[in-house]
Amino acid sequence: MSGRWRRLGRVVADPPGWRGAMVPFVDGDALYVSGRDDEGRTSTLRATLAPDTLDAAAWDPEPVLAPGRLGTFDDSGSTGSCLVWHEGRAHLYYIGWNRGVTVPFHTSIGLAVGDGRAFERVSEAPVLGRNPSDPIFTTSPWVLRDGGTWRMWYTSCERWEPTPAGPRHHYDIRHAESDDGVCWRPTGHRCIGFRDAGEYAIARPCVVRDGNLYRMWFSYRGDGYRIGYAESDDGLAWTRIDDARGLGPSGEGWDATMVEYPFVFERAGRRTLLYNGDGYGASGAGAAIWDER
């Protein structure tokens, strides 16, 4: 069935005391985004949503997850990516990063567990970092409990390319599995790869299971980020059909030149999309709802 995303506009710009609202996602009446401090480090922030809207009624006074201890994989930032409830505990999968020397940054995937407002890291080490399948870096996890298996779709960097403007990363979306959500087995399987030579970055998968059909929204970039879309029967072999349910820049305002980092969910009976616009979240986060045609 055909349709289109109808933009609702920007829903959050800069949370109080922070810059930007990166990688937005919602759990119940809570909105999570990541903001930067004056040193450029990222923390995961939480707001309570107003009833039946996507407006932040109140922000928690402290981050739910701040940067890690000096020298750890997340000492430059802890950016929340998705939240999974299991046995009454909230599992926050996040992007931990630190600054690099030969390349601009390094990222890995971390896990913190809590009650939705306060979280404690399961380890100061990542739950999915560099490994034989992902030798450069891992980032932007999306996790589902699928039957008795935990499944993760995530971004894996395959190489850095030297360019006159500096190193350019090339990364796509891979798959991993776990029995407990903590110890992960990367399969090395590429779920979404580059469509043509102009693409070099595919990131931030969001996977929704509709019956026997898996739907994935993701970011892809050549000149600028767009939101793509793919479908699968098993979560491994994907057919990419970006024009069907993807989203491009608006051409004006806060998301004029790029859109990225999608989160798709149901709210008030409508399929809803949260996403970032220009500047990788520096211009804030916005929303759209799906209109069937």
DSSP for 65-113?
B---STTSTTTTEEEEEEEEEETTEEEEEEEEEEE-SSSSEEEEEEEEE
**Would you say 138 and 146 are in contact if contact means Cβ atoms under 8 Å apart?**
no
pLDDT tens track, the chain, 293 positions: 579 999 999 999 999 999 999 999 999 999 999 999 999 999 999 999 988 889 889 999 999 999 999 999 999 999 999 999 999 999 999 999 999 999 999 999 999 999 999 999 999 999 999 999 999 999 999 999 998 899 999 999 999 999 999 999 999 999 999 999 999 999 999 999 999 999 999 999 999 999 999 999 999 998 899 999 999 999 999 999 999 999 999 999 999 999 999 999 999 889 999 999 999 999 999 999 999 87
Could you give the number of structural domains in the chain? 1
- 187 inside domain: no
Whether pTM > 0.85 for this model: the answer is yes
- 137 inside domain: no
- 242 inside domain: yes
pLDDT in tens, 110-120: 999 999 999 99
Output the furthest CA–CA distance in the chain (Å, rounded): 52
- 244 inside domain: yes
SS3 8: strand
N-term to C-term CA, the chain: 7
- 132 inside domain: no
User: CATH number for the domain including 19?
Assistant: 2.115.10.20
Residues constituting the chain: 293
CA distance 107 to 203: 13
SS3 242: helix
**Would you say 257 and 250 are in contact if contact means Cβ atoms under 8 Å apart?**
no
- 48 inside domain: yes
pLDDT in tens, 64-100: 999 999 999 999 999 999 999 999 999 999 999 999 9
Whole-Å CA distances, 143 to 78, 109, 111, 172, 180: 17, 11, 11, 16, 12
- 287 inside domain: yes
Name residue 206's amino acid.
C
Give 21-78 as a DSSP string.
EEEEEEETTEEEEEEE-TTS-EEEEEEEEPTTSS-EEEE-SS-SB---STTSTTTTEE
Range of the domain at 23: 3-126+202-292
- 70 inside domain: yes
